Structure 1
Amino acid sequence: MPTHDEQSAAVHHEKLADIVGQANVLSGEDVPARHVQDLWGSDRVGQAELVVRPATARQVAQVLEFCHAHHQPVVVQGGMTGLVSGGVPARTEVVLSTELLTGMRVDVAAQTLVAQAGAVLGDAQRLAREHGLTVPIDLASRDSATLGGCVAQNAGGVNVVRHGMTRRHVRSLEVAFADGRLTTLSTPLVKDNAGMDLKQLFIGSEGVLGVVTSVTLALEPAMPARAGAFCAVRDVDAALALLTTLRQTMAGAVTAFEVMWSDAYEVLDGTGLRLPLPFGYPLYVLVECEGTDTGELSAKLVDCLARLDDRLLDTAVAGTAAELAPLWAARERIPSEVLRMQPLFGFDVSLPATRLEDAIARMRAKVTERWPAAKLLVFGHLGDDNVHIAVATGERDRNRKPEVEHIVYGVVADDGGSISAEHGVGFEKRDYLSYTRSADEIGMMRQLKHLFDPRGILNRGRLITWGEENV
C-alpha cells in the first residue's frame, strides 16, 4: 500500500500536470541529474522527486498558488551555476525550473531587453549585439546562467568595474508571489519615482520572497574597439596604482581589472594554453578597455602603461579583440583548473582593496599554521574588491570545512569585508551571515520573508531561516 507521502506526491504530480502539461512534470528516473547539484559541484547533493517546468508566467503563478494552498515547499532553479547550493533541492521540495521561460526581445528605441527568467545570458548578449547594443552584465558562465538567476543573485562578473552589478541595469520586474499573485514591479522608464521602488527588494533576494518571471534590462551601445594588457606587478599596491592611473587616463573606458596571485596563475602549467606572461612573478593583472576607435584606444592604453614603467615587471599588450582572447582564456581557465585540486574549499568574498594584501597574508598564515601542506590560491576582480579564494588543506577528506570557513570568514569580518561578493548566501553561507549583516538587518530580512511568504514555502532554509516549521 502506498505511504501517505507517496499518495501526496501522486496527487501533486496530477494537479501540477493539469497546470503545465504532463510532459512538463518530471519525476523519478525521468529527472535529469542537473537538477540535484550546482553546475560547479558542491558538498550538497539533493533529491529532485518532482520537477515542474512552467512555460508562461501565469503557469508559474498557478504552480505557486497550488503549492501555497497545500503548504508544499518549492525550490526555484535557473542555470544552476551558483556556488552556494541555493537551487539544490531537498527530497520534500518541488523543483520549479525556469528552463522553458526563454522568450526575449529588444526594444531598440528604448535600449532595453525584455526577457523571461529562463533566458540564458549568453543568448541575450548575442541578441543585443544584433542590434548594436550590449548587455552590461557578463559572467564566465554566460552560456549557462539565466537572467532570472542573475537578478535573484544580483550577479556581478567581470565587468562590474565599469558597469556595476545586475541591480544597476534592472528597469522593471515581473514577479510571482508565493500565494500565486503575479505582479509587475516598477516600469521600464528611465525616470520613475512614483513611490517606493519595490523591485529592489527582489534583486539579490535569492528567491526567498518571490519568483522572478521576467526582467526588463537597460542595454548600452556596443563599443566596437577593445584593447587590454596582461601585466606582472610586485604587490597589490602596484596593482592599485595601475588601476588608479587607468581610471584617470582612460575615464570610463576600463571594463575589467582582474588579478591573479602567482599560485593561482601557476595552475595553468601543463594546460597547453598560450600563456600571456611567464611564471615567477608575484601578481598578475588583466586589464580590458573599450572605446569607439581601435587605434586611439590602443594608443591611450600603451601611453598609460608607459607612465607606470617603474611599477610593471612585465607586460603583454593586446591592441584588438582577437589579441585579447588568449589573455581572457588564461584568466577564465583558472577556476576549472583550481577545481581539480580536490578536496577544495572555495570562497567568494569582498575585502577593501587597501586591506587586501594584509588580509590574504593573515589568511595564508592561519591556514598554513593549522595545515602546513595547505595551499591558498587567490584570484578575482580587484577593481570591485571581489576575490575568489581556494583552500586545499592537503588532506583527503572535507571534514575541515568548518575550520577553514571560520578562518577565512573571520579575517573577512575583521577587515570590514563581505562573506559573499556575487554568489549569494544560499545554504552554504547562511550560518555565517552574521559575520557581515547585523542582527537588526537579519531581523528585517525575516520580517520581509514573513510578509511575502507567510507559509515559508519558497527556497526554505536558504539565506535565512524563517517559517520552516509552518510548512
Structure 2
Amino acid sequence: MTASANTNASHAIAPTAAGPTALALATLQALRAELGHAAVLIGDEVPERNRNDNSSQLPVRPLAVVRPADAAGVSAALKACAAAGLKAVPQGGLTGLCGGARPEDGWVAISLERMSGVQEVDSASSTLTVWAGTPLEVVQRAADAAGLYFALDLGARGSCAIGGNLSTNAGGNRVIRYGMARELVLGLEVVLPDGTIITSLNKMLKNNAGFDLKQLFIGSEGTLGIITRIVLRLHGKPRCTMAALCAVDGYDSVLALLNAARSGLGPLLSAFEVMWPDYWQVVTERARVQAAVGQGHAQYVLVEAQGTDEAVDGPRFQAWLEALMERGLLKDAAVAQSLADVQGFWALRDACAEFFQVIGPHISYDVSLPIGRIADFARDCKAALLACDIAGRPAGAGIESIYYGHIGDSNLHLVAWSDGLSLADQPKAQMDATIYGLVQQYGGSVSAEHGIGTQKRKWLGHSRSEAEIALMRTLKSALDPQGLLNPGKVI
C-alpha cells in the first residue's frame, strides 16, 4: 500500500467542546484505579500522538486515552464508556489516511500500544498468534525467524499495527498472489462495544461451524468491535526473488504483460506494479531515484516473482522475459541480478513516500477500477483535474496529478495538488468530487485498501448500494445500539 506520509504536529489543536461531566470524570478515575495510573491518561496528560491519525485533519483533545494491557482491560474500558455514555475510538499505529482512528472532542481513545508482541508461533499449523498492537514489521520478522513468511507488506510496516491493518483490510504490494489482509487471518479475539469478549483463536484452514464471525470485524474500521488478538496465516518462505523493470508502449501492452505473467509465471508472480510517465518523471528527475530503464516510454512495469529454488526459478524467469522481448512486447527491460537490484527497482515504486518533500503539499487517493478500464480512467481524470477552476488561481492553472498502482489487483493510486498552496488550502473538495465522480462512472470503488473513515464517508454511496449501506447500519445497530464505538465512521 502506498500512501504519502505527513505530520500534523505543527497544526494548532482544534477548539475543545464543553468540559467533561462529573460522571465522565468519576468513571475515568474509577477505571484508572482498576487498570493503573499509566493505563488511563486524562485531559492534558493525553500524548500528542493520540490526538490524531495521519489523515491531514486538525488534531483534537480527546477526554482521555486508555492503554489496556489485554482484552480484559479493553472490556473494562468499553464497559466504563457505555456506563457514562462516552464515545470511544480504537487506535493502533495511527498511520491511517482516512480518519478512522481520529478521536473527536470528548471521546476516549483506546490505544492498543501496550498490547504488542508475539504470543505463539505454531509451525505445524503455520500460524502466528499476536496482539493487535504489534507493528507489522515485528510480525514479519517473527515469521521469518520461524522459517515462514507473512505476506502482508506495506510502506508503513515499521509503525502500523497489525490490528489496524485488519480493521481496514489492508492490501499492500503482494495482493495479486496472497490476497488482502482478510485472507491472512484464521482467528480473532474481539471485544464488542458492550465489553463482551469473543475469543475465537482458530488455527484451522477449514472451519465451517456456523457464521465466519471474524469477517464482521475485518474491514469494519473499529466500528463493530475492537480486535485484541489475531491468529495469522503464514506461508512458506520464498527462497529466491526475481524482478524485472519493464517499459512498454501503452496500456494494451500492460494488459498483455499481465496476462503473460499470470500464465507464464503462475503462482510465482508476487507483484505487478505499473507507473505512468508523469509518475516516472517525478521520481527519476525530481526525487532523483536511479532507474535502470530510461525516459520516454508510455508505461513502466515492475514485475516480481518469488520462487523456492533459485537454480530453477531464476532461469525460468529469465527465459520468460526473453520470450517477451522476442515477441516485441517489451520496449526495454532490466532484470535484477541481486537483492540490491530488486530493492533498487522497488525504490522507484516506494518513492511516493517522499512526495511531500518532492512535490510539496498534496492529497493522496486510493481507488479501485476494472483492470481493463484503468488507463481510460487515468486519462479522463487527469484532464478533468487540469480543467478545474481554482479560486484565487489563474484560469487554466488547474490541478496537477500523477498515477501509479498495483493494477494487477485493480488498485490505482493517484496524487493530486495545486502548486503553491498549503495542505490546508488544497482544493480537496473539488478533487474529491472530480475523482470520486469518475470512479462512480467507471464502476469502481472509492477505497481500495485505505478504508473509509470520515474522509470518504460522503462518497460511500458511489460504490455501495442503498441496500448494502442499510445492511451495514443494521449490523452497527445490532452490535452497538448506543452508537458509542467509533461513531460517524464508515457509515
TM-score of Structure 1 vs Structure 2, range by shorter chain: over 0.9
Offset of 1:36 from its aligned partner? 2.3
Unaligned runs of 5+ in 1: 465-471
Matched with 2:369 is 351
Unaligned runs of 5+ in 2: 1-17, 390-395
Which residues in structure 2 correspond to 1:292-307 (within 5 Å)? 292-307=308-323
Q: Hey, what's the Cα distance between the residues in 2 that align with 1:245 and 1:89? A: 47
Aligned match of 1:54 in 68, 77, 96?
68
Matched with 1:467 is none
Which residues in structure 2 correspond to 1:7-406 (within 5 Å)? 7-39=22-54, 41-104=55-118, 105-185=120-200, 187-268=202-283, 269-309=285-325, 310-337=328-355, 340-371=358-389, 372-373=396-397, 374-394=399-419, 396=421, 398=425, 400-406=427-433
What do the CA deviations read for 1:301-337 (whole angstroms, capped 9, x no partner)?
2222222221222211114333201111221122322
Q: Hey, what's the Cα distance between the residues in 2 that align with 1:271 and 1:367? A: 23
Matched with 2:454 is 427
Offset of 1:338 from its aligned partner? 5.2
Q: Hey, what's the Cα distance between the residues in 2 that align with 1:351 and 1:335? A: 23
CA contact under 8 A between 2:388 and 2:430: conserved in structure 1?
A: no
Aligned length, in residue pairs: 461
Offset of 1:16 from its aligned partner? 2.2
Going from structure 1 to structure 2, the CA distance change for 1:341 and 1:322 (only over 3 Å counts) comes to closer
CA contact under 8 A between 2:98 and 2:454: conserved in structure 1?
A: yes
Matched with 1:438 is 465
Matched with 1:469 is none
Q: Hey, what's the Cα distance between the residues in 2 that align with 1:73 and 1:323? A: 49
What do the CA deviations read for 1:396-452 (whole angstroms, capped 9, x no partner)?
253621221111111111111000000110000001000000000000011000000
Question: SS of the counterpart of 1:58?
Answer: helix
Offset of 1:253 from its aligned partner? 0.3
Q: Hey, what's the Cα distance between the residues in 2 that align with 1:34 and 1:240? A: 43
- Percent identical: 38
Q: Hey, what's the Cα distance between the residues in 2 that align with 1:425 and 1:73? A: 19
Matched with 1:412 is 439
What do the CA deviations read for 1:237-293 (whole angstroms, capped 9, x no partner)?
211211111111111001111111121122222445332323332221111111112
Going from structure 1 to structure 2, the CA distance change for 1:340 and 1:32 (only over 3 Å counts) comes to farther
CA contact under 8 A between 1:186 and 1:197: conserved in structure 2?
A: no
Question: SS of the counterpart of 2:311?
Answer: helix
Going from structure 1 to structure 2, the CA distance change for 1:4 and 1:89 (only over 3 Å counts) comes to closer
CA contact under 8 A between 1:136 and 1:220: conserved in structure 2?
A: yes
With 238-247 and 158-167 compared, the bigger mean Cα shift is at 238-247
With 434-443 and 135-144 compared, the bigger mean Cα shift is at 135-144
Going from structure 1 to structure 2, the CA distance change for 1:231 and 1:4 (only over 3 Å counts) comes to closer
Once superposed, what is the RMSD of the aligned Cα atoms? Answer: 1.8
Going from structure 1 to structure 2, the CA distance change for 1:79 and 1:224 (only over 3 Å counts) comes to same
